């Protein structure tokens, strides 16, 4: 009898732990995919108190809505891009002072906003491209408060591209994105086969669960069972199967020319993941560039001249080529 009683107690404790773990992970998944207008800005030196740490563990971290940190040094146009169902995306349009060669559309990373791509914009402006910098949903003055690490953002990429074609009459378009922005571009190309000249993708993760694992490693937490549970609930809360939201799979359907970049000291995106994505890119015109000492940040911070040279050479090699995708013949 005592054995059965102890067994019931043990099972009860395990069930309670399982339920509490799920509740905590659900809270984390929700908080990390929804911005809070009233949350205080996060700073690099932010260290939560003990009580704040307990609250974060139970209810999740309050993510402040990303707001503009800096502005272009030259005049720009403010755009409102229709994104379906009455929604709008907030964007800037910067004009080159050189002989115009086309348009670059830039997409920012997770918990960030369009001004974070201004350093890349300056390079493309100098190369003769106008640049459109777009705030994803949840950022700046764009619609909503949700973020999905690139999954739903892919539709934002489509709307920005369509706006450039229909309203700006652009037909020579390059897409560039960092981290989540790169993932969104890859999914958009896989889903919609956007008519673009090329894509420049910086630091995309290979699979959703691997990017979760990388964050757990930084927290010194075990992958099992947290990684799988978080992936499940993140997708469930946001209406998609996160276990299948894998950029390495999107790469199989990308036929346009692609320049893939990563940092050799990026704790979030190991080189092996980047090389795996590169190997699966279906494009016959693709390049891989690794910046050895760069962590998960703009590569221009440590390699400004080299980044400029790599991108300039990549784009220059495409100038006289017909690179628009045609039913998979690229």
What are the pLDDT digits (tens) for 156-178?
Answer: 999 999 999 999 999 999 999 99
**Mean pLDDT across 61-86:** 96
Residues 124 and 197 in one domain: yes
Residues 3 and 90 in one domain: no
Domain with 260, as residue range(s), is: 67-206+246-316
Residues 133 and 215 in one domain: no
For residue 32, pLDDT over 60 is answered with yes
As for how many domains the chain has, the answer is: 2
For residue 218, pLDDT over 90 is answered with no
Query: Does residue 2 sit within a domain?
Result: yes
Domain end call among 192, 218, 244: 244
Measured distance CA(231)–CA(180) in Å, rounded: 16
Residues 114 and 28 in one domain: no
pLDDT of residue 326: 43
Residues 10 and 74 in one domain: no
Query: Does residue 220 sit within a domain?
Result: yes
Confidence class for position 1, pLDDT limits 50, 70, 90? low
Residues 122 and 240 in one domain: no
* pLDDT per position as a tens digit, 267-299: 999 999 999 999 999 999 999 999 999 999 999
Query: Does residue 321 sit within a domain?
Result: no
Tokens 């740490």 locate to 53
Question: Which residues have CB under 8 Å from 66's CB, separation 6+?
Answer: 35, 111, 112, 113, 135, 138, 139, 140
pLDDT of residue 282: 98
For residue 260, pLDDT over 90 is answered with yes
Tell which wins on pLDDT, 54 or 143. 143
For residue 122, pLDDT over 90 is answered with yes
Query: Does residue 237 sit within a domain?
Result: yes
Tell which wins on pLDDT, 47 or 323. 47
Tell which wins on pLDDT, 142 or 49. 142
pLDDT of residue 327: 41
Residues 237 and 103 in one domain: no
Percent of the chain, pLDDT > 90?
A: 78
Query: Does residue 49 sit within a domain?
Result: yes
Confidence class for position 250, pLDDT limits 50, 70, 90? very high
pLDDT of residue 329: 46
CB atoms under 10 Å from CB of 78, counted, come to 9
Residues 57 and 132 in one domain: no
Residues 32 and 170 in one domain: no
Cβ neighbourhood burial of 15 (10 Å; 0-12, 13-18, 19+): exposed
CB atoms under 10 Å from CB of 169, counted, come to 8
Residues 214 and 201 in one domain: no
For residue 35, pLDDT over 80 is answered with yes
CA atoms within 13 A on the CB side of 255: 15
pLDDT of residue 9: 82
pLDDT of residue 46: 62
26-to-30, 32, 239, 242, 256 alpha-carbon distances in Å: 6, 10, 14, 14, 38
Percent of the chain, pLDDT > 70?
A: 91
pLDDT of residue 227: 94
Residues 130 and 258 in one domain: yes
DSSP state of 52: H
Query: Does residue 325 sit within a domain?
Result: no
6-15, 146-155, 271-280: which range is least confident on average?
Answer: 6-15
Per the CB < 8 A criterion, the answer to whether 190 and 248 are in contact is: no
Confidence class for position 43, pLDDT limits 50, 70, 90? low
Query: Does residue 52 sit within a domain?
Result: yes
Measured distance CA(31)–CA(238) in Å, rounded: 11
pLDDT mean across residues, the chain:
92
Confidence class for position 330, pLDDT limits 50, 70, 90? very low
CATH number, domain containing residue 91: 3.40.50.1820
Which of the given ranges, 23-37, 52-66, 275-289, has the highest pLDDT on average? 275-289
Query: Does residue 330 sit within a domain?
Result: no
Residues 112 and 195 in one domain: yes
Question: Which residues have CB under 8 Å from 64's CB, separation 6+?
Answer: 35, 36, 37, 39, 40, 41, 42
């Amino acid at each position: 009898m005592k054995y059965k009683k102890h067994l019931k107690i043990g099972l009860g404790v395990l069930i309670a732990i399982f339920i509490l773990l799920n509740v905590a992970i659900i809270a984390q998944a929700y908080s990390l995919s929804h911005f809070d207008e009233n949350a205080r800005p996060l700073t690099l030196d932010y260290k939560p108190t003990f009580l704040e740490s307990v609250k974060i563990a139970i209810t999740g971290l309050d993510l402040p809505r990303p707001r503009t940190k800096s502005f272009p040094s030259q005049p720009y146009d403010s755009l409102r891009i229709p994104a379906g169902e009455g929604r709008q995306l907030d964007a800037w349009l910067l004009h080159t002072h050189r002989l115009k060669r086309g348009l670059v559309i830039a997409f920012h990373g997770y918990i960030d906003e369009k001004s974070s791509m201004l350093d890349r914009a300056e390079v493309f402006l100098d190369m003769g491209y106008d640049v459109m910098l777009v705030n994803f949903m949840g950022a700046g003055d764009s619609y909503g408060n949700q973020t999905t690490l690139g999954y739903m953002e892919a539709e934002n990429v489509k709307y920005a591209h369509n706006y450039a074609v229909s309203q700006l009459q652009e037909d020579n378009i390059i897409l560039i994105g960092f981290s989540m922005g790169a993932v969104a571009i890859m999914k958009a190309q896989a889903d919609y086969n956007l008519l673009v000249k090329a894509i420049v993708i910086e630091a995309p993760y290979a699979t959703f669960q691997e990017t979760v694992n990388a964050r757990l490693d930084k927290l010194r937490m075990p992958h099992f069972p947290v990684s799988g549970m978080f992936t499940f609930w993140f997708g469930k809360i946001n209406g998609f199967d996160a276990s299948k939201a894998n950029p390495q799979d999107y790469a199989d359907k990308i036929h346009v020319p692609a320049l893939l970049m990563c940092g050799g000291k990026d704790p979030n995106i190991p080189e092996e993941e980047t090389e795996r994505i590169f190997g699966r890119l279906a494009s016959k015109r693709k390049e891989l560039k690794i910046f050895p000492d760069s962590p998960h940040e703009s590569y221009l911070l440590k390699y400004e001249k080299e980044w400029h040279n790599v991108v300039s050479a990549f784009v220059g090699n495409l100038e006289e080529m017909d690179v628009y995708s045609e039913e998979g013949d690229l």
